[in-house]
């Protein structure tokens, strides 16, 4: 296969305001041929430079109404234009520029980068197969300072971890879900109206006044998925990975001090992650 990544900015005006979308687009092609590998015959090869041009021209002509729509349009363009393409996947992620506000007034042309979770999407198609669409959020760093434990786990002679019922739960979340076969969705509407991001944060945190006890990273990952599936009907399957950061309460006995979970240090090794994929028929591939 061949792969190509390009980063660019798409500007347009809405009224007097500038609207900016900066995206990174990765185009991934597989051809029906093998002659370029076996014989050095390049006659069917689409240069990465051409792939780049297509991405830029499409962005110029169509704009980027939503990143999902742009990924779909790119997919269709490649499938339609090049009969030698056997498979195409397009990945688009957005640089999280936010409009600046001064005393609540939105600025017409100034932006700040706020990377509290990166929105991305994918569109994928095999020749003669359906075009399927995915969306997701990554690099979302979350922490619960309490209401988290880990008890009753499997023990044997290699177990040294004590049971804990009040630890810190902290990690970086990756979530990706499938919208199934490409349909005429308003993807930003799903994102914003159905508040997928809020669903995730809500399931991670529990109610604001009391939270909700997490018996494990695994259960929290599952709760996030269940919440999204139950509230966003367009989501077919959802996958979530939580890359954990563990924090240890520092033992200060030798320093003559009692540390009652007030000072903690992140433990960089070992780090772990847990992942789970959940679909509508309650099929679980843990």
48 is in an annotated binding site: yes
- What residues numbered 106-125 form the site for its own copies, per CB under 8 A? 106-116
150 is in an annotated binding site: yes
Q: Which is nearer to its own copies, 133 or 150 (CB)?
A: 150
Q: Of these, 146, 185, 234, 279, which contacts its own copies (CB under 8 A)? A: 146
Show the tokens assigned to 117.
């979770």
Q: Is residue 15 a contact residue for its own copies (CB under 8 A)?
A: no
Q: How far is the CB of 189 from its own copies (least distance, A)?
A: 20
Cβ partners under 8 Å of residue 262, min gap 6: none
From 120-128, 130-138, 184-192, 258-266, give the range in contact with its own copies by CB under 8 A: 258-266
Binding mask 41-70 for its own copies (x = CB under 8 A): xxxxxxxxxxxxxx-xx-xxx---------
Measured CA to CA, the distance from residue 127 to residue 78 in angstroms comes to 11
Measured CA to CA, the distance from residue 134 to residue 91 in angstroms comes to 9
Task: Scan for tokens 């056997």, then name that residue.
Answer: 86
Q: How far is the CB of 236 from its own copies (least distance, A)?
A: 19
Q: Is residue 81 a contact residue for its own copies (CB under 8 A)?
A: yes
153 is in an annotated binding site: no
Cβ partners under 8 Å of residue 246, min gap 6: 168, 170, 266, 267, 271, 272
Show the tokens assigned to 254.
């030798």
Q: Of these, 14, 102, 128, 281, which contacts its own copies (CB under 8 A)? A: 102
- What residues numbered 190-229 form the site for its own copies, per CB under 8 A? 198, 201-202, 204-211, 214-216, 218-219, 221-222
Task: Scan for tokens 């992942």, then name that residue.
Answer: 275
Q: Which is nearer to its own copies, 158 or 281 (CB)?
A: 158
260 is in an annotated binding site: no
**Between vectors from CA 170 to CA 100 and to CA 247, what angle results, nearest 5°?**
125
Which residue, 221, 223, 227, 254, is CA-closest to 240?
A: 221
């Amino acid at each position: 296969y061949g792969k190509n990544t390009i980063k660019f900015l798409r500007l347009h005006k809405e009224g007097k305001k500038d609207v900016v979308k900066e995206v990174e687009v990765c185009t991934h092609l597989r051809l029906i041929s093998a002659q370029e590998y076996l014989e050095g015959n390049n006659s069917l090869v689409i240069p990465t430079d051409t792939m780049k041009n297509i991405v830029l021209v499409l962005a110029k002509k169509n704009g980027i109404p939503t990143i999902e729509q742009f990924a779909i349009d790119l997919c269709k363009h490649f499938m339609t234009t090049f009969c030698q393409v056997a498979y195409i996947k397009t990945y688009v992620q957005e640089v999280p520029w936010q409009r600046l506000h001064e005393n609540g007034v939105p600025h017409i042309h100034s932006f700040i980068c706020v990377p509290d979770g990166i929105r991305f999407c994918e569109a994928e198609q095999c020749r003669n197969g359906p075009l399927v669409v995915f969306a997701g959020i990554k690099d979302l760093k979350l922490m619960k300072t309490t209401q988290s434990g880990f008890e009753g786990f499997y023990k044997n002679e290699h177990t040294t971890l004590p049971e804990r019922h009040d630890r810190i739960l902290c990690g970086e979340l990756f979530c990706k879900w499938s919208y199934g076969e490409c349909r005429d969705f308003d993807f930003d509407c799903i994102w914003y109206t159905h508040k997928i991001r809020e669903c995730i944060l809500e399931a991670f945190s529990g109610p604001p006044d009391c939270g909700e006890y997490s018996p494990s990273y695994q259960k929290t990952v599952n709760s996030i998925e269940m919440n999204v599936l139950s509230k966003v009907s367009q989501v077919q399957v959802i996958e979530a990975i939580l890359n954990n950061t563990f924090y240890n309460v520092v033992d200060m006995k030798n320093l003559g001090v009692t540390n009652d979970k007030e000072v903690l240090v992140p433990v960089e090794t070992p780090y772990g992650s847990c992942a789970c994929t959940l679909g509508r028929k309650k099929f679980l591939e843990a």
